[in-house]
Structure 1
């Protein structure tokens, strides 16, 4: 099955695995590997009669083919000799020669040769068959003049004592060019017509005096000898070209073949070849073009060999545009690549020039400018501006020439457009509530330049407090628009966008306005823990006023009248605190507690007061003026005055106590400073009473 595989390509799906057919030719899909002989037959010596099998196994890519020879000649045809070859499952080629009943005439040097497109490998071993010498016919042979002629004497029989050669009745060798090797092979170097052609005889002899002789007729062929192929120098496009392939020596008939760059001549090139006579072939190109340049080879072949001569044709072609430059514009600060590409032979040289103030065109100096703003001409002719500036505007000339007239040139204009831009694309401004903020937008770019304002991506509200003024800046250039926000409110905080636009683009600058106020009162004021001399207070931060809280001020004021004016005190904690332990307080005292927040704008209002009370604790002094009165013979009344007020730490519950006990019994009294049922006795006064 053959299916299409692209333009001009056919693939044979039934071809051997690992190959494809393209334009009716087989190609391997795998890397080529020269053959290797995996198995070789060995030399054998035997009597006539038995069967003999010679085998070679080879592997390679593509699959190699194995051929056989006997003493350098093809195997003789015989019903006793059978050749076979097949490919194993592993891809190895197995070839064999089977001789059913060996004869003396079957002896000699057998060669198996495995070959593929990547190379070849050979193995030679003798099959010796006992018997008298026999020489197989050699027929007519040819040799190529100037080369070496080698032929083996195809002798069989065993043992062979000697092999000799004669030419035209004279034993060989007769000169330095002739040699007879020990195995009977004849070697003739630098074969010459007239001296080496003729009749040669080979005689094989045994020690017993038996011998056999066969002859061959050698014909010396002269290969073609070609004069050097040449093309005229300085060939330009449009000229006519002729080249002559001249055979100076060689046997006829001679066949001629022309190739370009090792391929047959393409009919589309319009190249003609013709044979003037038996010794001359010419190549004609009516009108030379760039595609005619290349290496041309004339190959002349005859029955002897093939000879070739090669010459390089170079067609000089004037420049033609591949990429013609054109006028262009670029945004200020943008990059620009001006392509000016021409082809021809030799390769054209591209040069850029710029029109000076005088009107003359001067060379563009590479590196003009600083940093990324410099101009660089690349090797391919492209003019590159990394960061365009106003100074790059003007008229430029691109020239391409290679010494073949006419050259090329093109005038172009570069315009540098300035889209809107800002020196600062982002600003921040802070103002206090009630203050005035002025937001300034300074834009640059080609006129006319339009500036518009928006807030948080929404068009600016038409509020009386928002006023916009715009004017042209004379000193620094550009256009300035100012947005004045009066009587600033917290809700004025946000991102104001100034958008500048012209015919070359749109850019936006963002101005962040932050309206700040003093903090509001903290909330969630709560006393979470009480003790005789401390309170633990917590609170929640107030709403954001666009300024971080730097401190909290806690005010505590005792409600006790005895505290007097000025008894209130304040404590400060950091802005990150949400809890405070108030220490060194008076036991059994009520306090009004307030919390205020402070930021860099100022101190905010205090929270509503929260009441907190410290717990009582035992009096710190004993009762005063303790008095004892007899009530009866077995009872006393004890009375006293409370301790000083500042040491009671609560309310005293008892100031009189009646006591009874048996007569004449001693008693010791302890006076406890009790204030509340919770208070524990820590201080006492002792009174001893005796009858």
Structure 2
């Protein structure tokens, strides 16, 4: 072979080699993963003219509706609606006009779903029961399911929540804190980017419970007395609270707080006593509790007269009534001697709560108290009995120069009201009328009479009611008036 021939042959070989190098095969696709129903579009570029054919998993594709020749160097494969059977390896083969052969391959993945179908997205469970939260996932190929709460995956190890083999989330002995939003995440196995999430709400219900701080409340009635009855209620959903009262609701005295858990009664009266029933109700159940309110009334005492003025020998009658709850015991007390009057017979007696004194004597005068005694308190009302004073006793009389002095060892019985003065009486002869002089109780008991004269004298006390009985009479002879002389007169 001559030199020119060799040069031409080498040039042809070089040209064929260059054509082989430039004719690169490639398949262009927007993605590798297709959902059932998606359109699949594959573009094969040969890089040089030639005969392009397609294969799937080694089998020729002859369907002209699927394969279309664009030009001598490119072809496209179009599947309008992908099915699961369309997944596989696609090969674009080219027999180049230059005699060179080449191909390009691409692996397509087709999936269906995942889908949650008729999975419920809202569940309610009773506290303490076992809850099942299904996740009805379908998809092809295999679908993996995970459960999340608060962005944390729920582990099957430990705890009271676990995923069952059918992807249902089981919550054992549901707690209140289990309420919230759960996420069921369904992922096509081997394709982390292909997943769907479904939010499921879980509500925990609990029947109402009612707890009382005090089952029995005791208060004393009065305009300044306010009492609060507290009903501690629990339950889910939040229970509605109502009250049943033994009296008609009065908005001016009965007040509730914002959730009606506390009832306040203002200016408590006796009629407020009784059972107060607190009832808590929600859609699960109803519960109630009873508070017994005992209302006590402080005793009050009423007497028919607070003061009685009677003469010695007359009668006294004073009635006494008491009120209060519980009903008080009634007692009459003689405040002069501190003794309780319990006798129902005799001159001084108590009959049907009436103090009765027959034939009053001076020592009956003074204060008497009608007393009411009960567990809710004590009360009393005094009654003053006034009568004439008693006669002066232990009286001594002494004569002075033209005078008589009275001396008392003890003060006469006052008759219940202070002795204001004394009446001093005297006479010379039994047939004469008594003469008298009234002396203030604070002054000396002295009367000026004639000297060297015999007298009969006596004394009585006087108070606001009148004069008391006189003392026994005393006979006394007055002395003469002494005269004093000077020394000069005596010498004469």
TM-score norm. by structure 2 comes to 0.45
Q: TM-score, normalised by structure 1?
A: 0.34
Q: Taking CA–CA contacts closer than 8 Å with sequence separation of 6 or more, which of the two structures ends up with the larger relative contact order? A: 2
Higher helix share: 2
